[in-house]
Structure 1
Amino acid sequence: MATVNSSIVIISLPDIFRGIKLDPLQPGNVSYLLWMLMGFLVVTAVLVVTLGRLGDIYGRVKIYNLGFAVFTVGSVALVFDPLTQSGGALWLILWRVVQGVGAAMLFANSAAILTDAFPADRRGFALGINQVAAIGGSFIGLIVGGVLAPVDWRLVFFVSVPFGLLGTVWSYRSLRETSTRSAARIDWWGNALFGVGLTALLIAITYGIQPYGGHTMGWTNPWVLSGLIGGVVLLVVFGVVESRITDPMFDMSLFRIQAFSAGNLAGLLSSISRGGLQFMLIIWLQGIWLPLHGYSFSSTPLWAGIYLLPLTVAFLVAGPLSGYFSDRLGARSLATGGLLLVTLSFAGFMVLPTDFSYWAFAGLLVLNGVGSGLFSAPNTSAIMSSVPANRRGAAAGMSGTFLNSGTSLSIGVFFTMMIAGLAQTLPQVLTDGLRAHGVPQAVAAGIGNQPPVGSLFAAFLGYNPIGTALNAVPPSAIKGADLGTLTSKQFFPQLISGPFHHGLVIVFAVAIGMSLVGAAASVFRGPRYIHTEPDTIPTPANAVPEGQRSA
C-alpha cells in the first residue's frame, strides 16, 4: 500500500492537476509538480531510521500498527480535498507528507517484525515476499493510477482507504510483539542533525533540476548550493556524533558487519538506478514511442503503465523464488547475478532504437525485472540476518533510508543527466524544426532555447510539448505556420528522438556504472553470515559458512 502510493501519483499527475484546475507547467507552478512527487519520498527517507529506532525502544508492532492508522488518515484527507488551484495543490502536498509519515512507520518496522518471527532457514522467503510487496507496489501503482485517474482523480487516493482501514484493524487485532525492547534514551541530537541534513540535501537536489538565472538547471542557485553543502556538512557532523554517544539513532557500529555494509551499498545503488529507469521509461513511452504509434498524448499515461507490465510480472515472479533459494544458497550469488542481469538490460536499452520493436523492449523489461527480483529479496534477507536481534529495528530503518533516499536521488541524478544530454542538441533541432513549418525565426528560437526540463515535464505529464509551447505565443506571431503538423502526434516525437537518445545513452551509461559497482559490493559481502548472539556485535568467529544454516 505504501509503495503503490509512491508511484500511483506519478502516472496520475495529469488528471490530478486537471481536477484541481492548476496548470503545473505555468511559471511558478513547477514546484507544485515536484513536491507532489518528492514530498512523500523525502519524508519517508528522513523518518524511517528514527521510527525504526523507536520500534526497538517502544515496540516494533506498536509503531507499525500506528503507521497503518496515520497512513489511512492521510488517504481519507486526500480524497476530500476541498480546494482548487494552488490551495488544492498545497492540501495534497501536506497530506501526502502525512501519508509519508505513516509509510515510514511501516517501512521501518516490517522487515524487523518478519525477521523476529521467522527462523533463519525460512527468513529469506518471508522477507522476499515483503520485498516483492514493497518494490512490486511501485510498479503496480503505475497501472492502477493509469486505470483509475481518467475515471476520477480522487480514486487514486481513495483506493488506499479500504486497505488502510482493513490493515489498521487487522494489524491491531493480529500482531503481537515478539521482540525484546531495548531500554534507551531518544537520540535528540542525532534525529535533529539527520533530519535537517538529509532534508536539506534532498530539497536542494529537487530544485537543482529546475532552471535558474538563464541556465538550463539550478545547480548554480545559491540556495541549492547552500542546501547541498550544508546538508553534507550536517550529515558528516551527524556521523561523528553518532559514533560517540551511548544510544545512537543510527548505529554506526553495524557498519563493521561486512554483510550489512556491503548489502546496503548495493541496495542504495540498485535503488538509484531502478528509480531512474522508471522515470526514463515513462518519458520514453509517453513522450515518443506511444505518440509515434498513434496514441494521443492524453492517453499515454495509462498505456505507459500497461506496456511496462512485463517488468512488473517478471519482478513479482522472480522475487519470491529468489527469497526461497537464498535460504538454501545464501545471498551472494543470487544478488550479484541479479545486478549483472540488470546491467545487461541497461546496456540493451542503451542500444535500442528510440522507435523500437515492442518485443525487444518487452524482453529487456523482463530481463530487468528478473534481475531486480533476484537481487532484492536475498539482499534484504542477508542484511537483516546479519544484525543483533535488539538492533533489527534500527537496521531495518537504516536499510529503508538507503532504499528511499536512492529513489529520491534518482530523480536528481537521472533528470540532470538527461537534461544535460538534451541541452547539447535539442535547442537547435527544435528551432530548425519549427522554422521548417512556418514559425518565424524569433519565435522558433525562443521556444527552442527554453530549458529542456519543460519538454521533459510536458511529456511526463502526457501533454504535447509543442502544443503547450505554442499556446503561450500570441496567435498573430505564428500566423501562417503549419499548426496542424506542429501539434500532431508525430511531430514532437520525431523531432526529439535524436536528442532524447543522446540523453538516454548518458543516463544508461551512469546506470550501468552504478549496477556494476553494486554487483562488486555484493560479491564482497562475504560468505553467508547469520548473527547468532543477540547482545553483541559479531566478530568473524560468529560467521556461518556458506550454505550452512544457523542453529
Structure 2
Amino acid sequence: MSGTPAAQGAAAEPAPRTPHQTLALAAMLFAVAMTFIDQTIVSIAAPDIVDELGLSSSGMQWVVNAYLLSLAAFFALGGRLADLLGPRRIVIIGTLVFVVSSVLCGCVPKGDFAQSWLIIFRATQGFGAALLFPAALAVVVAVFPVERRGRALALFFGLSGALTAVGPLLGGWLTGWTWRAIFWVNVPVAVVALVLTVMAHVKDVRRAEKLDGVGAVLIAVGMGLSVLGFQQSAYWGWDSAATWACIVGGLAVLVLFWRYERGRRQPLVNLAVFRDKAFTVDSLVLFFAMLAFVPVFFFASVYAQVSLSASPNQAALYLLYFFAGFAIASQWGGRMLDNKGARLPMKIGTILGAVGFALWAGKLTHLSMHDQWPYVALAGAGIGFILAPASTDAVNRAIGASYGEVTGITQTIRNYAASVGLAVLGTLLTHRMTENVVSTLTSQGLSQDSAKGVAKSIAEAVTGNGDARVPSGTGSAATAARDAMSGVRMDFAEANQWVFYGMAIALGIAFLIALRHPGGKVTPPTSLPMEAPAPPIPTH
C-alpha cells in the first residue's frame, strides 16, 4: 500500500540533483576566463616587468612563451585526465594550479632569481590552463542536451574568445597600479569559478582506464620541441641549426607518438577519430583559422601602436571592432549549427574571413581606424562563424571517443596552429619591415649599414615583446631610431599588409577544405555523457 512507512520513506527520498545548466556554463566561463586573459595581458605589462626586475629582452620573451609552450604541450594530457578522473574534478584541480601559480608570479622577488622564478610559474600556469580548458568544455557539452548544445557552445566560445581582447585593456589599467596585479586579478575570478562549480551540482563520472604515460611524455616532448622551434625562430633565425633541430626533432617525436598510439588498447589520444571525414575536415579548418585568430591580437595591437600612434588602451579598443563581429557571428553560427549542421557556417565564415582580412590589409596604409573598422569587424565575423560550429561538430562527430579526449585533440591542434602562425607571420613582418625601413632611410642619404642598424633597432622594439615604445637612451643608435620611428609609420603599415594578406590566404585554404565537409546535422546521444560515458573507439 502506498501509505506504509516503507513506501512513505521511499517516496521521501530526495531525487538526485540534476546539473544546473546556467550555473555550470557561468562557472566554466569564469574558469576559462583566466586562461584567455593571460594569453595577452602579460605582453602589455612587459616593459614595466623588464624595468623593475631587470630582465633581458630574450628573458622576457621566455616569460611570455613559457605559458603558451606549456599550454600546447599538455592539452592532450588535460583532456585525457578529464576522462579518467572526471571533468569536474579536473576543472577544480586546474583552477587551483592556475591561481596558485598566478599568485606566485605576482610575488616574484627582485634579484638574480627573478627571471627563472617567472618562467617556472608561467609554465605551471600553462599546465593549469591545459588541465582546465578541455575539462571545462567537456562539462558544458555534458550538461546541455543536444538541441541546446550548439547555442551553449557558441556562447562559450564567443565570450571566452572575446576575453582575449580584455587582456590588453585590463593589463593597461592594472599596470597603472602595479604590474603584479595582472597576476593577482586571477584570484577573485578563480574564487567565483570554484563557488559556481560547486553550486552547479555537475555530475562527475570517471572512466575505468589507465593513463598512457609513455604517450603523454611523447606528445609533450613532440609538441614542446616543435613549438619551441617556432617560438624561437625570431631570435635564433630560420637559418639556425637549433631552430630546425627543435622543429624537425619535435615533428619526428610526434610521428613516433602516432605510431606508438596506434598499437595501444587504451591510448592517450584515440587517433581512430580521424577516420571520420567530417572530424578531419573540422580539425583542418580549425588549424587554418587559428593561423589568423591568435596572431591577429599581436599584429593588430602593435600596428595600432606603431602606425596609428595609439596607446596600449586605444590599441585594445581597436581590437574590440574585431570582437564585435566575432561575438555576433558566433551566435548566428551556433544557431546554424543547430538547424543545418556545421558545413554552412564554416563555408560562410571562411569566405567572410578571407574577404575581411584581405580588405583590412588593403586599408592598413590609410592609417585611420575610422576607415578600417568595417573590415576589422568583417574579419572577426568570419572567425566567429567558424570556431564554435567546427569545434562543436568535431565533438559531436566523435561519438565513440570521450568529450574530454576530443577536446584535448582539437585544442592541441588550435594551439599548435597559433604557434606556427605567430612564428611564420612574425618572420614575414620583420623581413618586410626591415626592407622597407632600409629603403626609406637610404633614400634619405643614410648609408646602407647605418640604415640596417636603425631598422634592426626598430624591429626589436616593435616585434620582440610587443613593446611598441620608441627606443630610449642617448646613444647615436637610439637617437637615430627615435628619429626614424616618426618616418616609418607607413613602412610598418605596408609590412603588415603582407601579414594580413597571409591571414586571408589561410582562410581561403580553410574554405577549400570546408567544401569537403560531408554536411548534415549530427545527432549525438541525448543522455548526459557523464552519466554513461561512451567506450573508446577500437584502434584496429
Q: 1:259: Cα distance to partner?
A: 2.1
Partner residue in 2 for 1:545: none
- Cα-to-partner distance string for 1:240-267 (whole Å, 9 max, x where unaligned): 1111211111111000112211111111
Stretch moving more, 408-417 or 319-328? 319-328
For the 8 Å contact 2:347–2:511, the answer to whether it is kept is yes
Partner residue in 2 for 1:52: 79
Alignment of 1:5-20 (within 5 A): 5-20=38-53
1:189 aligns with 2:214: yes
For the 8 Å contact 1:40–1:99, the answer to whether it is kept is yes
Structure 1 residues 427, 78: CA separation in 2 closer, same or farther (over 3 Å shift)?
Answer: same
Partner residue in 2 for 1:454: 460
Percent of aligned pairs sharing the same letter: 24
1:269 aligns with 2:288: yes
For the 8 Å contact 1:71–1:103, the answer to whether it is kept is yes
1:414 partner amino acid: L
For the 8 Å contact 1:48–1:397, the answer to whether it is kept is yes
Q: 1:532: Cα distance to partner?
A: 4.2
1:504 partner amino acid: N
Structure 1 residues 275, 430: CA separation in 2 closer, same or farther (over 3 Å shift)?
Answer: farther
Q: 1:353: Cα distance to partner?
A: 4.3
For the 8 Å contact 2:288–2:507, the answer to whether it is kept is yes
2:212 partner amino acid: D
For the 8 Å contact 2:43–2:465, the answer to whether it is kept is no
1:77 aligns with 2:70: no
Structure 1 residues 288, 122: CA separation in 2 closer, same or farther (over 3 Å shift)?
Answer: same
1:158 and 1:363 map into 2 onto residues whose CA distance is: 36
1:41 partner amino acid: L
**Match 2:510 to one of 499, 518, 522:** 518
Stretch moving more, 526-535 or 39-48? 526-535
Q: 1:341: Cα distance to partner?
A: 0.9
For the 8 Å contact 1:333–1:523, the answer to whether it is kept is no
- Cα-to-partner distance string for 1:190-224 (whole Å, 9 max, x where unaligned): 111111111111111122111x5xxxxx1222222
For the 8 Å contact 1:125–1:320, the answer to whether it is kept is yes
Partner residue in 2 for 1:492: 485
1:427 partner amino acid: V
Secondary structure of the corresponding residue to residue 151 of structure 2:
helix
2:464 and 2:279 map into 1 onto residues whose CA distance is: 41
- Cα-to-partner distance string for 1:281-317 (whole Å, 9 max, x where unaligned): 1121111211xxxx6xxxx222211222222233223
Stretch moving more, 148-157 or 426-435? 426-435
2:521 and 2:204 map into 1 onto residues whose CA distance is: 23
**Match 2:412 to one of 382, 401, 404:** 401
Q: 1:231: Cα distance to partner?
A: 0.8
- Cα-to-partner distance string for 1:17-58 (whole Å, 9 max, x where unaligned): 233244xxxxxx232232222111111111111111121122
For the 8 Å contact 1:12–1:301, the answer to whether it is kept is no
User: How many residue pairs get matched?
Assistant: 497
1:459 and 1:131 map into 2 onto residues whose CA distance is: 27
Secondary structure of the corresponding residue to residue 89 of structure 2:
helix
1:268 partner amino acid: F
TM-score by length of 1: 0.84
Structure 1 residues 188, 360: CA separation in 2 closer, same or farther (over 3 Å shift)?
Answer: same
1:156 aligns with 2:182: yes
Structure 1 residues 312, 434: CA separation in 2 closer, same or farther (over 3 Å shift)?
Answer: farther
For the 8 Å contact 2:303–2:493, the answer to whether it is kept is no
For the 8 Å contact 2:105–2:183, the answer to whether it is kept is yes
Q: 1:458: Cα distance to partner?
A: 6.4
Q: 1:16: Cα distance to partner?
A: 2.6
Structure 1 residues 517, 175: CA separation in 2 closer, same or farther (over 3 Å shift)?
Answer: farther
2:294 partner amino acid: G
Stretch moving more, 191-200 or 523-532? 523-532
Structure 1 residues 442, 395: CA separation in 2 closer, same or farther (over 3 Å shift)?
Answer: closer
Structure 1 residues 434, 33: CA separation in 2 closer, same or farther (over 3 Å shift)?
Answer: farther
Q: Which runs of 5+ in 1 are unaligned?
A: 23-28, 213-217, 436-440, 539-551
1:100 aligns with 2:126: yes
**Match 1:209 to one of 234, 249, 270:** 234
Q: 1:486: Cα distance to partner?
A: 6.8
Partner residue in 1 for 2:65: 38
1:508 aligns with 2:527: no
1:376 aligns with 2:387: yes
Structure 1 residues 90, 275: CA separation in 2 closer, same or farther (over 3 Å shift)?
Answer: same
Q: 1:388: Cα distance to partner?
A: 2.0
Partner residue in 1 for 2:165: 139
Structure 1 residues 243, 452: CA separation in 2 closer, same or farther (over 3 Å shift)?
Answer: farther
1:195 and 1:472 map into 2 onto residues whose CA distance is: 45
Q: Which runs of 5+ in 2 are unaligned?
A: 1-33, 526-533
Structure 1 residues 318, 341: CA separation in 2 closer, same or farther (over 3 Å shift)?
Answer: same
**Match 2:243 to one of 192, 217, 224:** 224
1:529 and 1:83 map into 2 onto residues whose CA distance is: 56
